[in-house]
């Protein structure tokens, strides 16, 4: 009996330690449970999807940029062909084919406004269109011009296209004012191409970036217009096609006799620094001098605007350019421009000359 009890006691497992309080039980139960720091498979899938979308965005922007560059290169190529043809005509003195306007295209091409500082205008346009085409191809190929980055290419394109648009606008103004009555289909086509290239460039760069360099654009456009205006004021203000006219300087004798009043008026005009600007071939200038008479005419401060004659490569005198002379004769009296032939009494009134009527004889 005792032996059985011992065996039972040995085979019986020892009692398990059980928590004596609910708090200990809760702590023991919570210990094995932890939140994993690894993202769930669902979060990984969503993140991967967003990443793939972000990767496609630059590719889409690149395609849009290439489309703009391709279109701009195409317009630049067309302009290069047009200006190349006009340059050939200008250098060979050939007649231009003009489907609209007949001979007007050749008249414009041979006018005083077809050159800038002695350089044929079509040649300048050919260089500009060629530069636009080359820079646009650089944006597509990326390795066409070594060392030229994307930012530099865009800045050059912006400056070039701004210059072309400003020049085209000025040329259209010249065509409608100085060359009124003529038509030039090549001029219109070139203006459309220039404005198109400028619009594409602005659209490609974006208005946000353009605003940062707006001051630079205005400065470039102003410099282009100022240079063109200065170049054209040095050209002879002659009738269209006058390059073909060759005239050597000559003097016309004044036959009328001056009155004392006319002599006094001429002396007064001289004393206040008044000047008469004219040309040797201008009949109105000769008539103005005849009104004064030969004695009084010698006392007038007369400026000959074509001392070397007129014709090809003969320009107006620089003093006449500074005075802003646009026609003959032109008087400048007390800073006031007086255009055209005037009666002596009008000149006296404008200059403030007063003399008794009894002396007008």
H/E element, 258? none
pLDDT at residue 97, as a whole number:
76
The total of other beta-carbon atoms located within 10 Å of residue 351's CB is 19
**What is the rounded CA–CA span in Å between residue 103 and residue 114?**
15
One digit per residue, the tens of pLDDT, for the chain of length 361 reads: 444 444 444 444 445 444 444 444 344 444 443 443 344 444 444 444 444 434 444 444 444 557 889 999 999 999 999 999 999 988 887 877 776 555 567 778 877 788 888 788 999 999 999 999 999 998 888 777 777 888 888 889 999 999 999 999 999 988 888 777 677 888 899 999 999 999 999 988 888 888 888 888 899 999 999 988 887 765 544 433 445 568 889 888 999 999 999 999 999 999 999 999 999 988 899 999 999 999 999 999 999 999 988 877 677 888 988 888 888 999 999 999 998 899 999 999 999 998 654 354 4
**What is the rounded CA–CA span in Å between residue 309 and residue 329?**
16
Q: Which of 241, 248, 236 is nearest to 313 (CA)?
A: 236
pLDDT at residue 179, as a whole number:
76
Residues 6+ apart with CB under 8 A from 267: 299
Q: What is the C-alpha radius of gyration for the chain, rounded to an integer number of angstroms?
A: 43
């Amino acid at each position: 009996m005792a032996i059985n009890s011992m065996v039972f006691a040995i085979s019986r497992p020892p009692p398990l330690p059980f928590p004596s309080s609910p708090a200990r039980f809760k702590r023991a139960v919570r210990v094995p449970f932890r939140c994993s720091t690894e993202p769930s498979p669902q979060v990984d899938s969503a993140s991967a999807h967003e990443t793939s979308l972000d990767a496609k965005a630059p590719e889409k922007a690149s395609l849009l940029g290439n489309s703009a560059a391709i279109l701009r290169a195409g317009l630049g190529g067309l302009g290069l062909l047009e200006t190349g043809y006009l340059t050939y005509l200008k250098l060979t003195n050939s007649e231009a084919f003009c489907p609209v306007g007949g001979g007007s295209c050749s008249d414009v091409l041979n006018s005083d406004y077809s050159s800038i500082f002695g350089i044929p205008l079509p040649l300048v346009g050919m260089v500009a269109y060629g530069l636009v085409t080359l820079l646009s191809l650089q944006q597509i190929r990326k390795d066409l011009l070594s060392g030229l980055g994307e930012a530099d290419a865009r800045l050059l394109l912006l400056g070039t296209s701004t210059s072309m648009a400003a020049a085209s606008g000025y040329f259209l103004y010249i065509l409608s004012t100085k060359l009124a009555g003529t038509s030039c289909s090549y001029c219109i086509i070139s203006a459309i191409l220039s404005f198109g290239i400028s619009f594409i460039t602005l659209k490609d760069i974006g208005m946000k970036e353009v605003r940062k360099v707006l001051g630079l654009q205005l400065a470039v456009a102003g410099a282009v217009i100022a240079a063109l205006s200065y170049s054209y004021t040095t050209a002879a203000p002659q009738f269209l096609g006058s390059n073909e006219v060759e005239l050597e300087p000559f003097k016309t004798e004044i036959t009328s006799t001056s009155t004392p009043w006319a002599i006094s008026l001429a002396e007064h005009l001289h004393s206040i620094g008044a000047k008469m600007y004219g040309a040797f071939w201008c009949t109105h200038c000769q008539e103005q001098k005849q009104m004064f008479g030969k004695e009084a005419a010698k006392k007038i401060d007369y400026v000959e605007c074509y001392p070397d004659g007129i014709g090809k490569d003969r320009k107006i005198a620089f003093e006449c350019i500074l005075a802003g002379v646009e026609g003959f004769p032109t008087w400048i009296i007390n800073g006031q421009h007086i255009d055209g032939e005037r009666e002596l009494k009008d000149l006296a009134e404008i200059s403030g000359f007063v003399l008794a009527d009894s002396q007008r004889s």
